[in-house]
Structure 1
């Protein structure tokens, strides 16, 4: 019996009229996300990074040579606000992991580029990151992991395309 089972049992006792099936699924996804985030966070910390820094550095690395993007491209790839991205970039510049370079196509703007040190730290972190994710999914067989991936992709696609509602 996991943490969510206990909550569902309490709801069943208090409100047997409720269909708590969706609550059980969403609760488990949320709980797993917390546990996975903590596990990956420990790996980032071990490499002197945090999830936000890794996100920017990994985005630059996966963009391919010359490992540079405009701030707007970084914002689109990481889904954060411009203010948040500016803060991340400033801290990564101060750490020596990225550099601002004048955009050769538009001298009024700049590009964010991985430095050699930034490339090294993200590549080292990436290896351990993938190993951490593999460890976090060890309870599943390869086929189960593939099934989970397909199901989550379907849920995510639906959630991302659903009309937004006001809370």
Structure 2
């Protein structure tokens, strides 16, 4: 356990988007806390707090220049250890020791021996993962001054393909939102100059929502600044073929869930 501690700290310290941004900035060389704070538009105290976490985890080291100002730089040894751990994560290993959820599931199985404990575990793990995904969405949206629902709406317009426009009704399915909620998001994004409403040429009374170039820049900025959430970082640690397998299994599970929801909805009508 003791041998794992340095690597564990390296990974844990990257859970915060601001700390990942600080490390990205330090790729350019040693810099002072005030300079880093200005570039990230945060207070000096906040920058120092994040830098302290990175220093304790082993990511950065600090030295003073000839004027006595503290300069922070990335430790190459930490980066080497980090990438070595990432490589190890892609190597198939033996069975992992059980975690708290496995213990919880074992207790559940004792109470309900006739049920498949994996069905219980799948639900419990998805619940915990959904919390990570929800937090990641909030962090990514907040980094660009928009709300999570607004970020999802922009993503839905982007994935609709050129000319990146949809009717509010078309947006309902990918967003799983009410028309009122979509209208509210569109109004805010329109005020920010990120979308515009235009008449629907196929429906005299309808409108289309079109994503403007400024909105695409926001989506690009989230990726270029590496403001990735915990869920994204966690997925990147998996080998590509395992990610593909997981994606396929989750799709299968979603299809079954969608079909069951549709069946229940039909029974209620």
Deviations 1:105-125 (A, max 9, x none): 333222111123223212323
Alignment TM-score, normalising by the size of structure 2: 0.54
Alignment TM-score, normalising by the size of structure 1: 0.81
The aligned counterpart of 1:159 is 257
Counterparts of 1:19-34 in structure 2 under 5 Å?
A: 19=115, 20-34=117-131
How far apart are 1:76 and its partner, in Å?
2.8
Deviations 1:114-152 (A, max 9, x none): 123223212323556795454121342212111111111
How many matched pairs?
A: 166
Aligned-residue CA RMSD (Å): 2.7
Unaligned runs of at least 5 residues, structure 1: none
Alpha-carbon separation, structure 1, partners of 2:224 and 2:258: 29
Secondary structure of 2:236's aligned partner: coil
Alpha-carbon separation, structure 2, partners of 1:76 and 1:129: 29
Higher deviation after alignment, 127-136 or 151-160: 127-136
1:96–1:115 CA contact under 8 A, matched in 2:
yes
The aligned counterpart of 2:247 is 149
Unaligned runs of at least 5 residues, structure 2: 1-97
Higher deviation after alignment, 59-68 or 132-141: 132-141
Structure of higher RCO (CA pairs closer than 8 Å, 6+ residues apart): 1
The aligned counterpart of 2:179 is 82
The aligned counterpart of 1:73 is 170
How far apart are 1:10 and its partner, in Å?
4.4
1:43–1:128 CA contact under 8 A, matched in 2:
no
1:97–1:114 CA contact under 8 A, matched in 2:
yes
How far apart are 1:95 and its partner, in Å?
2.0
Alpha-carbon separation, structure 2, partners of 1:73 and 1:129: 30
Secondary structure of 2:205's aligned partner: strand
